[in-house]
């Protein structure tokens, strides 16, 4: 046993009264123990350390009531007696911990006894006599402070971290002290390394018992940290918070969904805004990195835009000089990912565009005022803002019904088109369509917007698409083909004409207009379109049939393909088919109905 814990040290106390009171406290006198603990804050450090044996004697784990004793007590008493001594001793330990008076060398001897009582009191708090008159949050803070102090002992920290229940107590202290002591709450949260499912379950139990409780605690702490007068506390908590969120099981989809369900993006972006431009370098990167990681789909991106995502992206981008745009700049890489990929790729989603429409004008003005044109991201911003304006103009036209939203049967096995007299009767009759609709996740309005956007881009690229189709017919006579439309590029829609064999490499999920390759038929009035786009960080492949109001188009394209002599190069082919294609497009633009 460490020397500081021996009872002989009590004889070294200065006064006879102190020595007598300390010995009585060690022997079990509660009044003397209370008096001793009350005096600790006024004693010199060395004298306070000499009282440690009296506190340790009262924290003997052999005195912890066992299950049989608890069963007997609970049948005749409303609370557990005989724990006031250990309870008071732990409060005394808390005072010594605050003064950093406990030698770390004693941690190995202290931990088994102190943890036994800490766990017991934490588990049975509602049945303790002290629970009626003492603030549980302050008690929990004292108890957590003891654990945090003993964790500093290298030889003992591994044992402490492996002790079941430790994280539950620390999590309770974290939640309870958010409003009263943000710095202490940061320290408590910083120990919650979640390397296993059991650790994660302990933390959830400590903050209330549900994933939603954990999400609420994280958001509440982040909201409290941002306006803190000491920015270092904000930065410290961000490092702690996101280190915690990125560890082990904490990165679970359930926690991410819970965070998003109660608007994690607003405090997250507010924190990033507060930290931007400050000397704290690691915290802004961790904050932005986690923000980007949370943008899993169009719903999350729309919510983040509502909370100020685009504005803070512009602010950070405008602050980075061209010489700092490199792989060593971690924030720079995240901004590149946002402006070149994540944000432009999301501009095919109706919900995202609705939110962008609300914030884009002010962000455009802010970008100009921030002089983003002389930053490292001037071209990235120009490319994104050009695409954004184009898509927002399309959204305005579609919402004003300047662009018609045509409907047809989504079931490619059916092959019927009813773009004018669409009604519920056909929908009910087509069993294939009904079964597919059960798996769709897009709203009716979002699907309608998708159809209109595909239709508009198809018409815009029509002559180029038909040229590639003609070349395919020439190079692969008699073979079926499909047209691919890709929304992966910041410049807008791209296309290609491919063999149906590409469908074998597509991963199919429950998506809009999905059909397995075996049932999607290329008919004279149905053209297959493979649409590829990002939904947050996930690539989606949608097989979309485009219905033609006439069967003449395939024959006309085949006739043009037959104009090409065998062995014609691609360069020569364009000159041969250019005029016939332009004439065909000019004629069908007004008469041919395309319905996605």
Q: b/e string for 164-178 if b means 16 or more Cβ within 10 A?
A: eebbbbbbbbbbbbb
Indicate the length of the chain as a whole number: 596
Residue 586 falls within a domain, yes or no?
yes
Taking CA atoms, 593 is separated from 438, 445, 553, in Å, by 28, 21, 11
For residue 542, the cross-strand partners are 531
348-361: b or e for each residue (b if 16 or more CB lie within 10 Å)?
Answer: bbbbbbbbbbebbe
pTM of the full structure: 0.81
Read off the DSSP letter of residue 62: G
Average pLDDT over residues 52-69: 88
Q: Is 500 inside a domain boundary?
A: yes
Indicate whether 424 pLDDT > 70. Answer: no
Edge-to-edge strands, sheet with 538-548: 492-498, 482-489, 526-535, 538-548, 594-595
Distance (Å, rounded) from C-alpha 317 to C-alpha 368?
12
311 and 180 in a single domain? The answer is no
* pLDDT tens readout for residues 393-418: 999 999 988 665 555 555 544 545 44
Domain co-membership, 587 together with 513:
yes
pLDDT of residue 317: 95
Main-chain dihedrals φ then ψ at residue 12, nearest 5 degrees: -90, -5
State how far the Cα of 498 lies from the Cα of 530, in Å rounded to an integer.
Answer: 9
pLDDT for the residue 265: 93
* Same domain as 329, residue 310: yes
DSSP per position, 136-162: HHHHHHHHHHHHHHHHTSHHHHHHHHT
- My answer on whether 378 and 447 are in the same domain is no
In a domain, residue 285? The reply is no
- Percent of the chain, pLDDT > 70? 80
Q: What is the SS3 assignment for 349?
A: coil
Decide if 188 contacts 244 (C-beta within 8 A): no
Residue 426 has pLDDT above 90, yes or no: no
Query: Quick one: which H or E segment has residue 289?
Result: helix 282-294
- Please identify, among 340, 370, 403, the residue that sits at the C-terminal boundary of a domain: 403
Q: 124-157: b or e for each residue (b if 16 or more CB lie within 10 Å)?
A: beeebebbeeeeebbbbbbbbbbbbbbbebeebb
C-alpha to C-alpha distance for 447 and 377, rounded to whole angstroms: 33
Query: What is the C-alpha to C-alpha distance for residues 89 and 95, in angstroms, rounded to an integer?
Result: 10
pLDDT tens-digit profile of 256-284? 888 888 888 998 898 888 888 777 667 78
Q: What is the mean pLDDT of residues 579-592?
A: 82
Domain boundary (163, 190, 220) is at 163
Query: Tokens in use for 294?
Result: 């949370």
Count up the domains in the chain and report the number. Answer: 4
Residue 336 is assigned to a structural domain of this protein = yes
pLDDT at 254: 82
Question: The domain containing residue 590 runs over which residues?
Answer: 424-595
Structure-model confidence comparison of residues 591 and 175, the more confident one: 175
172 and 140 co-located in one domain: no
Same-domain pairing of 7 and 151: yes
Q: In the predicted model, what is the mean pLDDT of residues 7-17? A: 93
CB 130 within 8 A of CB 84: yes
Q: What is the pLDDT of residue 569?
A: 86
Q: How many CB atoms lie within 10 A of CB 578?
A: 12
Distance CA 338, CA 312 (A): 11
Indicate whether 321 belongs to any domain. Answer: yes
Question: Same domain, yes or no, for 30 and 148?
Answer: yes
287 within domain boundaries: no
Q: Are residues 173 and 155 in the same domain?
A: no
Residue 164 CB-half CA count within 13 A: 4
One domain, residues 541 and 579: yes
In a shared domain, residues 512 and 562: yes
Establish if 414 belongs to a structural domain.
Answer: no
What is the H or E stretch that residue 546 is in?
A: strand 538-548
Q: Is 488 within 8 Å of 533 (Cβ atoms)?
A: yes
pLDDT tens figures, 277-328? 777 667 788 889 889 988 989 999 999 999 999 999 999 999 998 888 876 6
Residue 281 maps to a domain = no
Strands 492-498 and 538-548: unpaired
Beta strand pairing call for 526-535 and 482-489: parallel
Q: Note whether 104 and 238 are same-domain residues.
A: no
Q: At which of 163, 180, 205 does a domain end?
A: 163
Pairing of strands 492-498, 482-489: antiparallel
Dump pLDDT digits (tens) for 514-537.
Answer: 444 443 445 566 777 888 899 999
In the block, residue with structure tokens 């159809």: 451
Q: Are residues 14 and 156 in the same domain?
A: yes
CB atoms within 10 A of CB 162: 8
Write out pLDDT tens, residues 82-98.
Answer: 788 999 999 999 999 88
Report the pLDDT averaged over residues 123-140: 80
**Max CA pair span of the chain:** 116
pLDDT digits (tens, 9 = 90+) for 482-510: 889 999 999 889 999 988 776 665 544 33
The pLDDT-based confidence of 380 (bands split at 50, 70, 90) is very high
């Amino acid at each position: 046993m460490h020397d500081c814990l021996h009872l002989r040290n009590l004889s070294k106390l200065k006064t006879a009264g102190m020595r007598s009171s300390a010995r009585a406290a060690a022997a079990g006198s509660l009044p003397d123990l209370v008096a001793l603990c009350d005096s600790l804050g006024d004693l010199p450090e060395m004298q306070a350390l000499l009282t440690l044996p009296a506190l340790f004697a009262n924290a003997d784990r052999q005195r912890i009531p066992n299950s049989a004793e608890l069963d007997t007590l609970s049948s005749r008493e409303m609370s557990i007696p005989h724990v006031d001594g250990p309870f008071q001793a732990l409060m005394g330990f808390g005072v010594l911990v605050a003064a950093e008076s406990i030698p770390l060398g004693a941690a190995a001897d202290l931990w088994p006894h102190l943890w036994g009582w800490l766990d017991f009191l934490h588990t049975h708090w509602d049945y303790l006599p002290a629970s009626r008159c003492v603030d549980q949050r302050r008690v929990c803070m004292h108890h957590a402070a003891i654990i945090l102090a003993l964790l500093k002992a290298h030889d003992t920290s591994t044992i402490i971290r492996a002790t079941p229940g430790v994280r539950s107590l620390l999590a309770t202290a974290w939640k309870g002290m958010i409003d009263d002591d943000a710095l202490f709450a940061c320290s408590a949260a910083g120990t919650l390394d979640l390397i296993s499912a059991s650790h994660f379950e302990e933390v959830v139990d400590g903050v209330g018992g549900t994933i939603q409780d954990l999400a609420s605690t994280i958001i509440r702490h982040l909201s409290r940290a941002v306006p803190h007068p000491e920015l270092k506390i904000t930065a410290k908590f961000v490092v702690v918070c996101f280190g915690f969120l990125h560890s082990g099981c904490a990165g679970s989809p359930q926690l991410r969904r819970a965070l998003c369900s109660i608007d994690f993006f607003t405090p997250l972006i507010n924190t990033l805004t507060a930290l931007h431009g400050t000397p704290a370098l690691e915290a802004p990167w961790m904050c932005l990195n986690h923000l980007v990681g949370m943008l899993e789909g169009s719903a999350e991106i729309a919510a983040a835009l509502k909370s100020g995502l685009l504005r803070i992206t512009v602010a950070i981008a405008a602050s980075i000089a061209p010489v700092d745009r490199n792989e060593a700049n971690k924030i720079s890489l995240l901004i590149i990912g946002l402006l070149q990929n994540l944000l432009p790729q999301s501009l095919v989603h109706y919900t995202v565009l609705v939110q962008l429409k609300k914030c884009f004008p002010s962000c455009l003005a802010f970008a100009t005022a921030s002089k983003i044109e002389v930053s490292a991201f001037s071209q990235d911003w120009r490319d994104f803002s050009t695409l954004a304006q184009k898509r927002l103009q399309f959204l305005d036209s579609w919402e004003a019904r300047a662009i018609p939203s045509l409907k047809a049967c989504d079931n490619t096995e059916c092959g019927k088109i009813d773009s004018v007299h669409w009604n519920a009767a056909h929908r009910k009759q087509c069993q294939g369509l009904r079964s597919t609709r059960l798996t769709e996740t897009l709203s009716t309005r979002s699907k309608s917007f998708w159809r209109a956007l595909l239709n508009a881009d198809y018409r815009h690229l029509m002559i180029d698409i038909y040229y590639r189709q003609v070349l395919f017919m020439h190079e692969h006579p008699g073979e079926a083909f499909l047209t691919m439309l890709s929304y992966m590029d910041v410049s807008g829609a791209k296309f290609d004409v491919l063999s149906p064999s590409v469908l074998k490499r597509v991963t199919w999920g429950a998506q809009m207009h999905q059909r397995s390759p075996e049932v999607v038929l290329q008919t004279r009035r149905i053209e297959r379109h493979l649409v590829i786009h990002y939904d947050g960080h996930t690539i989606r492949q949608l097989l979309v049939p485009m219905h033609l109001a006439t069967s003449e188009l395939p024959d006309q394209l085949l006739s043009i393909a037959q104009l090409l002599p065998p062995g014609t190069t691609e360069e020569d082919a364009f000159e041969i088919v250019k005029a016939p294609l332009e004439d065909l497009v000019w004629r069908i633009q007004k008469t041919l109905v395309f319905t996605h």
